[in-house]
Chain A
Amino acid sequence: MSEPLLIVNDLVVEYPAKGVGRHAFQALKGVSVDIRPGETVGLVGESGSGKSTLGRAILGLAPVTSGSITFSGRDIGSLPRRERRALSSEIQVVFQDPYSSLNPSLTIEQTLTEPLLVQRISKEDAGARVRNLLDQVKLPRDALGRLPREFSGGQRQRIAIARALALSPTLVVCDEPVSALDLSTQARVLDLFKEIQETTGVAYLFISHDLTVVRHLSHRVAVMYHGEIVERGEGEQVTARPTHPYTKRLLLASPVPDPVRQERRRSERRALLDASEEPDAQVA
């Protein structure tokens, strides 16, 4: 059994109180999770669950109040900026919004070579690597000289994936990477993620609100609610036969694309809500 690549232990992320007499906001209340090399760990939750905050804390974009984040044996929880920058060749990110994750005034070539040039790779080597990356994400070579605005959402997301892979990271944090895409594009981009993992052995922390998407790609799944992990386990089992009431609610609330089965699921959901002790009065 391989050593975990990333170990998050009892992580607490707290944002200071704004104003007098207000409480600090705890986005993460002691979260522990681990990712093994080449594994996909799915993180499911709704808005406010803290799933994006966990991703950002791993990337160094959110402040760590207590707890530890260990990467390849090194504690990266509170690294100073310069040392954090050295981690960029190991941990990378693909964001949700394809329209704001690429600088609109830079060409694709400039965007993709930036991480390479920062690591002091020569311009020629960077150019060759970038052409290689475009092949990997199945984009044409002439995309290099164009601007992001000339591409569709799915294509921009591929460019974002190419940027993430530029430095051959061992872990990529994927923050809802397909949520903003059309149905047919979603499927293709997910296949691309799987293919890349199979060829390069990169690990993913795959954050999503959609159980079906997470099920498709994840080996293991953790479900988050209000800053805590409420259920975790093998992906196949958590997304089909969950045990925690919240995960059950989540599963039954996602509509299935089949009227007959959806009617059945609706009555199962009704039964679950009626049977639950806590009144589902937290009307959102």
Chain B
Amino acid sequence: MSEAVSEAPVLDVSSELRAVHSHLARRMLRNPFGLLALVILAIIVLGALLAPLLTSYNPGAASVTNVLLPPGHGHLLGTDGAGRDVWARLLYGARYTLAGALLATVVAAIIGISAGLVAGYYGKWFESTSSWITNVLMALPGIVVLLAARAVLGPSLWIIMVIFGILLAPAFYRLVVAAVSGVRHELFVDAARVSGVSDARIIARHILTVVRAPIIIQAAIVAGIAIAIQAGLDFLGLGDPTIPTWGNMLNDGFTNLYRDPQLVLWPALAIALTCIAFTLFANALRDELERSARPARRRRAAATAAARTAAAEPVQPGSGTVVHEEPDSPGSATLLRVEGLAVGYPQPDGSITRVVDDVSLDIRRGEVHGLIGESGSGKTQTAWSVLRLLPPGGEILAGSVLLDGENLAEASNAAMRDIRGVRIAYIPQEPMSNLDPSFTVGSQLTEPMRVKLGLSKSQAKTKALELLGRVHIPDPARTFASYPHELSGGMAQRVLIAGAVSCDPSLIIADEPTTALDVTVQAEILDLLRELREELGVAVLIVTHNFGVVADLCDRVSVMQSGRIVETGPARSIFADPRHPYTRSLFGAILEEDHARGPYAVAAA
């Protein structure tokens, strides 16, 4: 257990989709749309609050003599059909309009969020009942309900907005229920329960924090809708005529449309700007959340870490790689030669994060070559770059990948499509997520054969059944007709192996093919790979972190650290005599087989 491999804090942002709020607020201000939206909203709110300072007129003061005056003469925007000052009505109207929208949003939020939290956390009958009620509410036509309410309860703005809030609660409810159900089964919730935290505290602290940002986005959208609907009702003349609102102004302006067209302009502008500002705010917040989620992939963070340590040492081609000589001269020809491969991810600030740096290896026909390393070593990135299937953002920066003389690093996409599956096949790590759940196993096996090899449907089916038998699936016909969810992990991996050999490739790239499987199943899959290698003479590049797998299967091994190959050679030679300090530290970390815990003794604490 050497300390040579230091554990520096890695910026590991693996399955992270929830941003930190302090950083988020700052990022919102830097986002141009977010800033614009906040500025517009700030101006409107300030205008509403400071109305008495900005105008001396009473918004309700009608004057028969001053009807429909144009702007000027003491009236900034003129007067309306009843002689009231338009500017004053705009400012005071902002108060009522915004307050009404706020009321609707708050009512919707309180009902929706609390019901969503309880339903999402406890589930069962509460969730079924709430969902049923929610569906009914959503099916109701909103405006018709509001009209009915107005007919019964009178034209009060506040009552209408409360009812509207109830109608809008489902928007929050569904959002919260989905988020909470997703988080309810997370391990940190279980850990909190084991720590003795009460349910109420778990909901408030652990679950609510996760759902905060989506709720804010929803609130902004709901506020915009509330303003629009409220204005609509007032415009139809169904609102409260005694209070100034933008909708009432629209109504008045519409009535006087031919006599003074610009009366409609000001409230319309106000409504539009406010709704746009809310929408922009919601969009900007969502963009910022997504941006913090996009780099949150393990590969990318591991890439950053690998590059950082790689960048620390000066780049010297091939130096530091310990090569074990072959005892005999190499018998078979080279199938794949990788030379000086460098892979990197361009960063937003212009720099390039290198995850693979100056990697050279060759794979001979029919040999099993192990690529071993820890997370962040670049082994998987190397395998993917042979197939030219790097994740978005990744590029091959330098070097060549020669398959029978043809350079794959520079081949066209069409040429690569012809090569993938036919000359180089791929076995992934997670068998279940690599099978489409909507199609039967049979159709997923036969499709590539029909497309790539031009076989007819029955020819492909015969071959598929033969392959399923070859990978020791007990009832090939039954598996052929099954769906992926009906298979166990080991069977799914056998199906994928069958698919990999279906087009007779010369090289199979296996990316940690047994990591997700039980150990007894793993042994069987390794047996299968060995068998197929002997039968078909196919070469295998196996990427793994498990030395046992390497010892079991591989002829030659390359050890990777931080994007570089540090040691390479025949497997027996490397196991017998590891020379590079990193390889030795890895071997040192393997638990000694002979070491067992001593007998139990009642120890003093």
Q: Kindly report which residue of chain B lies nearest to residue A169, judged by CB atoms.
A: B194
Please tell me if the beta carbons of A201 and B518 are within 8 angstroms of each other in the complex: no
Q: Kindly report which residue of chain B lies nearest to residue A216, judged by CB atoms.
A: B591
Instruction: Choose among A60, A96, A234, A249 the residue that contacts B194 (Cβ–Cβ < 8 A).
Output: A60
Please tell me if the beta carbons of A99 and B595 are within 8 angstroms of each other in the complex: no
Bound form: Cα–Cα A266–B5 in Å? 32
Binds A, one of B34-42, B255-263, B414-422, B486-494: B486-494
Instruction: Choose among A95, A187, A240, A254 the residue that contacts B190 (Cβ–Cβ < 8 A).
Output: A95
Q: Kindly provide the distance from the CB of A18 to the nearest chain B CB, expressed in whole angstroms.
A: 14
Would you give the 0/1 interface string for A149-191, flagging 1 where the beta carbon is closer than 8 Å to chain B?
Answer: 1111111000010010011000000000000001111111011
Bound form: Cα–Cα A105–B19 in Å? 8
Binds A, one of B321-329, B405-413, B503-511, B541-549: B541-549
Q: Name the A residues within 8 Å of B74 (CB-CB).
A: none
Instruction: Choose among A103, A111, A182, A261 the residue that contacts B375 (Cβ–Cβ < 8 A).
Output: A182
Bound form: Cα–Cα A118–B9 in Å? 30
Q: Kindly provide the distance from the CB of A56 to the nearest chain B CB, expressed in whole angstroms.
A: 8
Is A68 interfacial (CB-CB < 8 Å)?
Answer: no
Please tell me if the beta carbons of A103 and B209 are within 8 angstroms of each other in the complex: yes
Please tell me if the beta carbons of B596 and A215 are within 8 angstroms of each other in the complex: yes
Q: Kindly report which residue of chain B lies nearest to residue A201, judged by CB atoms.
A: B605
Q: Name the A residues within 8 Å of B518 (CB-CB).
A: 46-47, 209, 284
Q: Name the B residues within 8 Å of A118 (CB-CB).
A: 195-198, 201
Q: Kindly report which residue of chain A lies nearest to residue B198, judged by CB atoms.
A: A85
Q: Kindly provide the distance from the CB of B344 to the nearest chain A CB, expressed in whole angstroms.
A: 22
Q: Name the B residues within 8 Å of A93 (CB-CB).
A: 190-191, 194
Please tell me if the beta carbons of B13 and A149 are within 8 angstroms of each other in the complex: yes
Is A29 interfacial (CB-CB < 8 Å)?
Answer: no
Q: How many residues of B contact A (CB 8 A)?
A: 80
Q: Kindly provide the distance from the CB of A232 to the nearest chain B CB, expressed in whole angstroms.
A: 14
Q: Kindly provide the distance from the CB of A240 to the nearest chain B CB, expressed in whole angstroms.
A: 7
Q: Kindly report which residue of chain B lies nearest to residue A237, judged by CB atoms.
A: B596
Instruction: Choose among B296, B551, B572 the residue that contacts A257 (Cβ–Cβ < 8 A).
Output: B551
Instruction: Choose among B12, B186, B600 the residue that contacts A100 (Cβ–Cβ < 8 A).
Output: B186
Instruction: Choose among B188, B197, B546, B605 the residue that contacts A38 (Cβ–Cβ < 8 A).
Output: B605
Size bracket, chain A contacts: 35 or more
Instruction: Choose among B1, B600, B604 the residue that contacts A191 (Cβ–Cβ < 8 A).
Output: B1
Is A39 interfacial (CB-CB < 8 Å)?
Answer: yes
Please tell me if the beta carbons of B187 and A95 are within 8 angstroms of each other in the complex: yes
Instruction: Choose among B191, B575, B595 the residue that contacts A101 (Cβ–Cβ < 8 A).
Output: B191
Interface residues of B in 558-605 (CB under 8 A from A): 571-572, 575, 585-587, 589-591, 593, 595-600, 602-605
Q: Kindly report which residue of chain B lies nearest to residue A111, judged by CB atoms.
A: B188
Instruction: Choose among A85, A249, A254 the residue that contacts B548 (Cβ–Cβ < 8 A).
Output: A254
Q: Name the A residues within 8 Å of B13 (CB-CB).
A: 149
Q: Name the A residues within 8 Å of B602 (CB-CB).
A: 1-2, 36-38
Q: Kindly provide the distance from the CB of A139 to the nearest chain B CB, expressed in whole angstroms.
A: 10
Binds B, one of A7-15, A19-27, A124-132, A217-225: A217-225
Is A72 interfacial (CB-CB < 8 Å)?
Answer: no
Interface residues of A in 119-155 (CB under 8 A from B): 119, 147, 149-155
Please tell me if the beta carbons of B524 and A151 are within 8 angstroms of each other in the complex: no
Q: Name the A residues within 8 Å of B375 (CB-CB).
A: 153, 182
Q: Name the A residues within 8 Å of B585 (CB-CB).
A: 184
Is A79 interfacial (CB-CB < 8 Å)?
Answer: no
Instruction: Choose among A95, A96, A283 the residue that contacts B474 (Cβ–Cβ < 8 A).
Output: A283
Is B534 interfacial (CB-CB < 8 Å)?
Answer: no
Q: Kindly provide the distance from the CB of A159 to the nearest chain B CB, expressed in whole angstroms.
A: 11
* A–B Cβ pairs within 8 angstroms, 20 of them: A1-B602, A60-B194, A81-B199, A85-B198, A86-B196, A88-B196, A89-B196, A97-B187, A99-B14, A101-B187, A119-B196, A150-B9, A186-B591, A188-B1, A215-B596, A216-B595, A219-B598, A254-B519, A255-B551, A259-B575
Partner-B contacts on A (CB < 8 A) = 1-2, 36-40, 46-47, 59-61, 81, 85-89, 91-93, 95-97, 99-106, 111, 114-115, 118-119, 147, 149-155, 160, 163, 166-167, 182-188, 190-191, 198, 200-201, 209-210, 212-213, 215-220, 234-236, 239-240, 249-250, 252-262, 266, 269, 281, 283-284
Partner-A contacts on B (CB < 8 A) = 1, 5, 7, 9-16, 18, 20-21, 186-188, 190-199, 201, 205-206, 209-210, 296, 374-375, 472-474, 488-491, 494, 517-524, 526, 545-552, 571-572, 575, 585-587, 589-591, 593, 595-600, 602-605
- 4 further A-B contacts with Cβ under 8 Å, apart from A89-B196, A186-B591, A256-B551, are A61-B193, A118-B197, A150-B11, A152-B7
